[in-house]
Amino acid sequence: MKELTYAEAINEALDEEMARDDKVILMGEDVGLYGGVWRTSVGLQQKYGIKRVIDTPISENSFVGCAIGAAITGLRPIVEIMYIDFITLALDQIINQAAKLRYMFGGKVKVPIVIKTTAGAGKGNAAHHSQSLESLFCHIPGLKVVMPSTPSDAKGLLKSAIKEDNPVIFIEHKLLYPKKEILTEEVIPLGKAKIVRGGTDITLVATSNMLYKAMDAADILKKDFNISCEIIDPRTLSPIDFEMIIGSVKKTNNALIVHESNKKAGIGTYIASIVTENAFDWLDSPVNVIGGLDCPIPYSYVLEDAVIPSQDKIINKVKEILEKG
């Protein structure tokens, strides 16, 4: 048992998988000599060489395309895109090629590629470096989408993603890299959610960094209002473990989904629709969603905080839902 940060846990997963399988390669901007701008690949180029840990030009469409070619010809590439905002430069490669090749070749071609990237606000990085675009990729058949919230989940899910024979978008929140945890040594299957905290009055489904805001809100709701929140971290957004979420809602009879991306067409509205379709008779009040405001992420810390969901917004919404119920 050892305590690692989120960034160290990712580094350890990369190291272990590269040691296990020499077909695993890593490529991206500054991932080699520098060790990655988020320090998740420190020491890997020195250990595995420049042919397996490759510093690329600043050309996302080119190196993502190269990685797809490498994947279908036998390698297992991990591609790091520094900010998810930059992934838009490679959407043709990801959406029109990686996501569809296995289907279009009747299953004869595998595309074992992991595209790991960093999302989210909270560092004053402004509109070009702070987006949460997970819903975009959840919409695309053929892609799996993972958003781990804890160091243990980051390591366990990354190991599973690297072993996966289909393309995986692996999204890390930039505020989570320093978070520490005693790691549980396990490989976590894609598509399996986790009940972070048991409760009886309402189910909170929270993704990525929002998990921590939901937990803080739940502490206050219990202490000040005697409201018991069950908290679920989906961990994988495509596919989603609806069985666990719906089972929880049938127990608590209320639900609130919290995510950082803007609410319009977000993953929360999709979860809410499936829960409503499958647990309508158990609901005491409509399923609610808290997401970011429908605007670009501001540069100002004050405005940035106003745009993304907060602990207070979660507390107020939970009280509102239960009062209506």
Dig out the tokens for 53 from the structure: 């840990």
DSSP state of 55: E
- Given the residues 8, 12, 80, 129, select the one marked as catalytic: 129
Q: Do the Cβ atoms of 64 and 90 come closer than 8 Å?
A: yes
- Given the residues 8, 60, 172, 230, select the one marked as catalytic: 60
Q: Is 12 a catalytic residue?
A: no
Amino acid present at 207 = T
User: Per residue in 229-259, is it b (16+ CB within 10 Å) or e — as a string?
Assistant: bbbbbbbbbbebbbebbbebbeebbbbbbbb
The neighbour count for residue 195, using CB atoms within 10 Å, is 15
Distance (Å, whole) CA 176 – CA 9 = 11
Phi and psi at residue 122, to the nearest 5°:
120, -5
Distance (Å, whole) CA 170 – CA 236 = 9
Long-range contacts at 244-248 (CB < 8 A, ≥ 24 apart): 244/192, 244/193, 244/195, 245/193, 245/203, 245/205, 245/271, 245/275, 246/274, 246/275, 246/278, 246/279, 248/195, 248/203
Q: Is 60 a catalytic residue?
A: yes
Q: Which residues are catalytic?
A: 60, 129
